[in-house]
Structure 1
Amino acid sequence: MNGKPLRAWAQIDLTALRSNVSALKAKAPTAAFMAVVKADAYGHGMVPCAKAAVEAGATWLGTATPEEALALRKAGLTARTLCWLWTPGGPWRECVEADIDVTVSGLWALREVTAAAEEAGRTARVQLKIDAGLGRNGAQPEQWPELTAQARAAEEAGLIKVTGVWAHFSCADEPGHPSIERELTVFRQALAVAEAAGLEPEVRHIANSPGTLTLPEAHFDLVRPGVAMYGISPVPQIGSPAEFGLRPVMTVAGRLASVKRVPGGHGVSYGHQYVTPGETTLALVPLGYADGVPRHASGTGPVLVAGKWRTVAGRVAMDQFVVDLGGDAAEPGDEAVLFGPGDGGEPTAEDWARACGTIAYEIVTRIGGRVPRVYVGDTGGRTRSDDDGAACPRA
């Protein structure tokens, strides 16, 4: 690195991530642990986070797309890996050859993976998914007997090995919701049908982050924490990250690009939705919706600047937004923190979610590639950045 200061950055605390994995494993001590690293590890960086999770004891990795799973293999990660979001004509053979567990949610997918196994000349590892009530992927219960029977036939032919049966909750983030027990019942019935068909899955799993934290009866053989691994509470209405023993992993900050005095009555940003009530100081933060700052944060998003919480003044633009400092002083280059763990007085991703009427999952995942990730707390004791030409702040 040549020490050039960054315009903006997302600091990723891998020590916190490893600690979160340990805390979550303690919630499900008899289950295997799948670290879900889809969507670039919820915006945190897939490969560094996957490596840190494995170091902390994760024995499985989970991705949405097969391309994500293949990227993990290319990066040298050999942990058991499951991917689940397939479309016809996907890279089945590549995943079979890379020993990736692939999800089958319907007969068309079973046909494609068995064909890929024949072409590759090796047995495919397959996990069957039941739609327990979410209404997304997964076989409907009435389709399940035929799917399990045909999967067993493919096993007997040596083409596949059914390594898992799984499902996904629809409302586990609403503890006590009546769908939870209904979906557990459907899942248990699906397991019984699979067993009657002669299948002996290695892992049975349904628990996501909220299921891991609040539904011990749903842990089965494996749990699949996603957002909780990154230190975000999936059930903020009943517990903060700290109350679950978790710490947010991502901090997003930037350096002020401009600080200037303006008179009262001065319009700010597009549409002049904000007009200064009197003479004041405006500071320009060089992050915008092209970087993942929600435009919905216009007039509401909280930012720590000059030791105090400020609110986005006017509209968030593509590359920048403004905060009104009132009578406080700041200088170009000073730090503005959008969100982080919160223990330095800064807002959290949950604060941004409330300000924007969304969930914290979206806040961290949408931070774009134009914001370099700066990794701290890696096992080598080094600080790493996605931008080799940039200084690594806050290390």
Structure 2
Amino acid sequence: MGVPYRKLFGLPGVTAQAVLGFLAQLTQQVAPVGIVLVVQASSGSLVLAGLAAAAFAIGAGMARPVQGRAIDRRGPRGVLAVSALAHVTALIAVVAGAGAGWPGWTIVALAWTAGAGLPPVSVTMRVELGARLATEGRTAAYSLVYLVQELAMLTGPLLLGVLIALASASLALGVVAVAAGAGTLAFSRALRVTGPSRSAGRGRVFRHLGMRLLLVVMVLLGGAIGALDVGVPALAAARGIPAATGLLVAALSLGGVAGAAVYGARRWTAAPARRLTGLLLVFGLALGPLVLVSALPLFWVVLFAGGLMLNPALTTTSLLVDELAPGAQAEAFGWVSTAASVGAAAGSGVAGVVGQEFGPSMPFLVAAGFAGLGAALSTLLLGPTGRP
């Protein structure tokens, strides 16, 4: 463990926040997967299951800025408690409603509510650690936030699979939802910074041109991620081994975990804007060769290398939020999440069309293109646009 991490974990409460934040975020990846399994098994309709999963994602994207603004103005504890209650209740209602044969629109509305109530744990962790650490310590702090989130997104589906094997998809989703809700409440009690931002109400997310530019860069980065979400399973299916999808997705996630750990373990002298440009450029260059790679083991290695750049890039966007949206960081973090979600939807759509027309390897060129455009646009942050 590098010196920055040792200092970070030396702060009171940080270890507890990391452990409880991991538990609280288990449903982030489990909920959409579990909703699809439960709704399809109960209704027999994959269309309804897909609509419910899409509603969950839309709800989460719409709610993040609203939750962030509430955190800036009132502090995180109340927001976490209300969102956890809404999230868990709605997920349990989806399970009950699907089993009871409730109308499809009701299931979709409940899924949207579950997404809108997804607790803003990672946003809260960034605000909490940012308020307690000087600028030089925030690279490690924000790397830890993404590391915890990535581990939860890796572990959650595995836990769901075990519980499904032991019982059923409905029970599994309910158990994970309750555990995540309890983890959220415990996480909120472990926070040390519980009041509103010192300048809440004076900061404006969109006041600075650099912040607006950063959100566009996040749309492009999200587009790269969305294209990968389409490209990986499409390629595995085209090779006749769809089961390899899980291993290939894990390569990107494991690369993200390793990248976050390494990135936060050392001190950086380059400005965040310069780092972001370099990381996005290397991320795009790493994805480009996937169009030509045929051997799946080598494909796994290249995806892992791409993941090494991905989480550090996301960490660096958080550092730029601190500079460009002082006094409104939580809301700004929420808009960053929303921008990434919008970009992922766009990237998935473009990659699907391109893959259908030109072959299953082409979505990776789409992903590289989105990342390259993000790198090019981020260079504007190196000048006066990127200065608060």
Higher relative contact order (CA 8 A, sep 6+): 2
Q: TM-score, normalised by structure 1?
A: 0.23
Instruction: Report which of the two has the higher share of strand.
Output: 1
